Amino acid sequence: MKKKVIVIGAGPSGIACALELIKTKKFDVTIVEKSKYIGGISKTIDYKGNKIDIGGHRFFTKNKKVMDFWTSYMKMQGSAAKDEIDKRNYDKNGVNPDKEDDVFLKRRRISRIYYNNRFFDYPIKININTIKNLGFINTFLCGLSYTKASIFKKRETNLENFYINRFGKRLYETFFKDYTIKVWGRSPKEIDASWGRQRVKGISIKTIIKNILMPSKVNETSLIEEFYYPKYGPGQMYTIMTNKFIELGGKLLLNSEVIKINKNMNIVTIKEKDILTNLSADYIVSSMPIVDLINSFDFNVPRNIKEISDNLPYRDFITVGILTKKLKIKNNTNYKTKKNIVPDCWIYIQDKNVKLGRLQIFNNWSPYMIKNNKNNDKIWLGLEYFSNIDDEFYKLSKNKLIDIGIDELEKINILNRKDVIDACVIKQEKAYPAYFDSYKDFDKLRKYLDKFDNLFLIGRNGQHRYNNMDHSILTGLNASYNIINNIKDKDNIWNVNIGDDYHEEINEKDK
């Protein structure tokens, strides 16, 4: 008789785990998803035919297992996409993205910082452009600041000290401090340094200079020049995977909320349209936020564990989609583009006078994200705002948020209101697990949850860890391996994204 597995959450980690289990034909697998979407925060939202990727999800990894997993479900690009001008190398066995839909595009990784109405390379580079934009005196003072930080190291008790040790106080205050406050709503002094060790590993002024003087043949992941991306956004990949899961006999329950889980972790009560249903399980795999998981337990949880869970912090997210005829900013880079639009995937907005944190240009992720754009005469933007669900800003109406977004883009000279064609708003709760408040006691919470032999926690929210997408996939794959082989130890799942041999070495702004 097949053992039953309930996978909570249809995000990358949950889908990966469910797929690997159903392939064995030894398990009865059901995915329970609270929303109507596939892909978790990696879903793709369709607005009048225009696709929105919430937060942006580049597909890249140093892990062959994850890359093979992705590419087994989508064909590689074999010829130029409709927006490409310069010739590039494509997979000789790939397909034409203009003629087929299930295509993994190969895209240029270009993002810059917008500070004082000037563009800076991202990650920060020591070159003529940086010196020119900062000014010679300011650049010199940044160098002195870094030298001082290198000699007088600070104890890395918080994220601020972590940054100062690697960039110097002056560069930290220019490019990291205010942006970090925008993202988290907290001073870097209040954020655990482990955030920096996880997200900024391998990046510092020292490594930047080293890369200039002694270029390595093997790029740091933070310095990759290309990444892969599904033709219609990340949700396309996970929809394809889910369809395969269902084809193999798996069950998917959308709009179904987990209400209760019993003490033996073998009965899950879900609610769909006010109807309660009990599902039996031999194993439970959860990628839902830990606070929601603990709150669903139909038994007494130790008071200290409940307090840690209740106070785990999250950051919520707002995307304002703006469809416009053109931008005011010009493409002064060496990268050729159709209609000469700026080539950036993301533009980081380093301006204290606006709440806008980051600007996505969906055209540069995939030209197929925009409806009826054969002439490349429309630009599809995603304005990213970081907030908390109980903030007044988060509660603002759609029209008010759109007005604020357009006003801010005008204020920093990116576009004119008269060129805007259409706009929309998408809100995403618990987009980012945060590293402050009760997070300092997270090990106690993990130890408690690991006691349940048939409960496996995976994914970004399931582990309350700021995983990249490939990390989340790997947690799901490792959980399936443990279930298939009846392994009760969870270390191989928790150890994803902490080891030097695997860590994705990217900058803290790469969400």
Distance, CA of 265 to CA of 299 (rounded, Å): 11
Within-domain flag for 96: yes
Query: Are 154 and 292 part of one and the same domain?
Result: no
Distance, CA of 125 to CA of 203 (rounded, Å): 11
Within-domain flag for 116: no
**Among candidate residues 172, 201, 223, the one where a domain is terminated:** 223
Q: Tokens 């580079």 sit at which residue?
A: 125
Owning domain of residue 168: 122-223
**For residue 386, which phi and psi values (nearest 5 degrees)?**
-105, 130
Within-domain flag for 117: no
Within-domain flag for 508: no
Query: Are 322 and 422 part of one and the same domain?
Result: yes
Q: Token pair of 188, please?
A: 């870097």
Residues 6 or more apart whose CB falls under 8 angstroms from that of 258 comprise: 8, 32, 34, 268, 269, 270, 288, 292, 296
Within-domain flag for 509: no
Query: Are 62 and 209 part of one and the same domain?
Result: no
Q: Token pair of 418, please?
A: 């008269």
What CATH number should be reported for the domain holding residue 375? 3.90.660.20
pLDDT digits (tens, 9 = 90+) for 353-412: 999 999 999 999 999 999 999 888 999 999 999 999 999 999 999 999 999 999 999 999
Distance, CA of 16 to CA of 500 (rounded, Å): 24
Distances from the Cα of 68 to the Cα of 71, 75, 499, angstroms: 5, 12, 21
**Among candidate residues 433, 465, 486, the one where a domain is terminated:** 433
Q: Token pair of 117, please?
A: 């109405």
Query: Are 214 and 130 part of one and the same domain?
Result: yes
**Among candidate residues 170, 195, 223, the one where a domain is terminated:** 223
User: How many CB atoms within 10 Å of residue 270?
Assistant: 22
Q: 458, 17 in Cβ contact below 8 A?
A: yes
Q: Which amino acid is at 460?
A: R
pTM of the full predicted structure? 0.91
Residues 6 or more apart whose CB falls under 8 angstroms from that of 74 comprise: 102, 103, 104, 230, 236, 237, 240
Distance, CA of 479 to CA of 457 (rounded, Å): 8
Distance, CA of 29 to CA of 247 (rounded, Å): 12
Within-domain flag for 253: yes
Distance, CA of 52 to CA of 177 (rounded, Å): 28
User: How many CB atoms within 10 Å of residue 147?
Assistant: 12
Q: Token pair of 464, please?
A: 């309350």
pLDDT of residue 224: 56
Query: Are 147 and 199 part of one and the same domain?
Result: yes
Query: Are 326 and 337 part of one and the same domain?
Result: yes
pLDDT digits (tens, 9 = 90+) for 204-252: 555 555 554 455 444 444 445 899 999 999 999 999 999 999 999 999 9
Distance, CA of 47 to CA of 40 (rounded, Å): 17
Chain mean position to CA 216: 27
Query: Are 27 and 158 part of one and the same domain?
Result: no
Chain mean position to CA 10: 16
Within-domain flag for 327: yes
Query: Are 449 and 307 part of one and the same domain?
Result: yes
Query: Are 291 and 440 part of one and the same domain?
Result: yes
Q: Which amino acid is at 114?
A: Y
How close are the terminal C-alpha atoms of the chain, in Å?
43
Partner residues linked to 112 by β-bridges: 121, 347
Residues 6 or more apart whose CB falls under 8 angstroms from that of 313 comprise: 433, 434, 435, 436, 437, 438, 439
User: How many CB atoms within 10 Å of residue 393?
Assistant: 14
Query: Are 301 and 360 part of one and the same domain?
Result: no
Q: Tokens 């998917």 sit at which residue?
A: 252
Quote the number of domains for the chain.
Answer: 3
Distance, CA of 197 to CA of 195 (rounded, Å): 6
Partner residues linked to 30 by β-bridges: 6, 251
Give the pairing of strands 111-115 and 118-121: antiparallel
Q: 443, 194 in Cβ contact below 8 A?
A: no
Nearest to 60 by CA among 475, 492, 504: 504
Q: Which amino acid is at 218?
A: V
Which helix (H) or strand (E) segment is 154 a member of? none
Residues constituting the chain: 511
User: CA geometry: angle at 62 spanning 192 and 206, to 5°?
Assistant: 55
pLDDT of residue 511: 36
Contacts 24+ apart (CB under 8 A), 61-66: 61/468, 61/470, 61/504, 62/221, 62/502, 62/504, 63/470, 63/474, 63/502, 65/474, 65/477, 66/470, 66/473, 66/474, 66/477
What CATH number should be reported for the domain holding residue 490? 3.50.50.60
Distance, CA of 150 to CA of 145 (rounded, Å): 9
Query: Are 427 and 439 part of one and the same domain?
Result: no
Within-domain flag for 304: yes
Query: Are 339 and 416 part of one and the same domain?
Result: yes
Residues 6 or more apart whose CB falls under 8 angstroms from that of 190 comprise: 158, 436
Q: Token pair of 72, please?
A: 């087994």
Distance, CA of 407 to CA of 267 (rounded, Å): 51
Which helix (H) or strand (E) segment is 359 a member of? strand 358-361
Beta-sheet strands, E only, within 98-250:
103-108, 111-115, 118-121, 226-230
Q: What is the pLDDT along the chain (511 residues), one digit of tens a residue?
A: 999 999 999 999 999 999 999 999 999 999 999 999 999 999 999 999 999 999 899 999 989 999 999 999 999 999 999 999 887 889 999 999 999 999 999 999 999 999 988 999 887 776 788 888 889 899 899 889 989 999 999 999 999 999 999 889 999 999 889 999 999 999 999 999 888 776 665 555 555 555 544 554 444 444 458 999 999 999 999 999 999 999 999 999 999 999 999 999 999 999 999 999 999 999 999 999 999 999 999 999 999 999 999 999 999 999 999 999 999 999 999 899 999 999 999 999 998 899 999 999 999 999 999 999 988 899 999 999 999 999 999 999 999 999 999 999 999 999 999 999 999 999 999 999 999 999 999 999 999 999 999 999 999 999 999 999 999 999 999 999 999 999 999 999 999 987 544 333 333 333 3
Distance, CA of 397 to CA of 425 (rounded, Å): 9
User: CA geometry: angle at 300 spanning 296 and 301, to 5°?
Assistant: 75
pLDDT of residue 221: 41
